[in-house]
Amino acid sequence: MSGATARYVRYAAVMAACGSLVAGCSRGANTPEKAGIAATYDTKTGKLAELAYDSNHNGKVDTWTEMNGTHPVRTRIDRNEDGKIDRWEYYGDHSDLVKVGLSRADTGKPDTWVFAGGDGKTRRIEISSAADETKIDRWEHYAGDAIATAEEDTNHDGRVDKWETYNAGTLETVSFDEDGDGKPDRRLSYVEGSLTAIDSDPDNAGTFRKHVIVQH
């Protein structure tokens, strides 16, 4: 995945499209069609329900934004125009972009969700191997532009059993809970991508008592 700017660049396009439509309707000077946007309205309330538009102007609609009147709720995007949605953008109560969903497996279902901080940079990524937002099994935390730590539920029992730490985006340690008590039992240490040490046999305080140097 690219940086946070690339992940969130679609937000500006969505808000520009919403702005064009709302401004056109309020003035009566433009129609959605003139603004290059197809609008769908709720038949019961008359409120704007969806915007559909061609973001790259090649004649094929590739972006659909679900609306609650003038407020965007979620955008679905088919970036490679293969007929499958591969990007989802979720908006908050103030039309702010809350998170971005991605389909890394290209299945048409989101399996990864990216959350940004106030500075627009990625702060957390949640991943579901089941492509189900209610079944997240990996959490990545970022500092600056690099991953800092990660936790994972490798056996999908609802509990974290793997922990990773990084230094400037490079893997530094991986710890495993091998007896299911929620605490690390074994830790692997790396330097520049190479395994250098294995620690095991923790005491009650979590201090490892066995330390093995890995020779290369």
Q: Is the pLDDT of residue 134 over 70?
A: yes
CB 100 within 8 A of CB 120: no
pTM of the predicted model as reported, rounded to 2 decimal places: 0.79
Residues 55-77: tens digit of each pLDDT: 888 889 999 999 999 999 999 99
DSSP secondary structure code for residue 51 in this structure: E
Q: Let me know how long the chain is.
A: 216
DSSP code per residue over 37-106? EEEEE-TTT--EEEEEE-TT-SSS--EEEEEETTEEEEEEE-TT-SSS--EEEEE-TTS-EEEEEE-TT-
CB 67 within 8 A of CB 51: yes
| Cβ neighbours for 54, distance < 8 A, ≥ 6 positions apart | 36, 60, 61, 62, 63
**CA 94 to the chain's CA centroid:** 20
CB 175 within 8 A of CB 160: no
Residues 198-209: tens digit of each pLDDT: 999 999 999 999
What are the beta bridge partners of residue 8? none
CB 64 within 8 A of CB 51: yes
Cα diameter, the chain: 76
Q: Alpha helix (H) ranges present in 70-112?
A: none
pLDDT level of residue 29 (50, 70, 90 thresholds): very low
Residues 179-188: tens digit of each pLDDT: 999 999 999 9
| Cβ neighbours for 170, distance < 8 A, ≥ 6 positions apart | 190, 192, 193
Count other Cβ atoms within 10 Å, centred on residue 19. Answer: 12
Give percent above pLDDT 70 in the chain. 83
pLDDT level of residue 5 (50, 70, 90 thresholds): very low
Q: Alpha helix (H) ranges present in the chain?
A: 4-8, 10-27
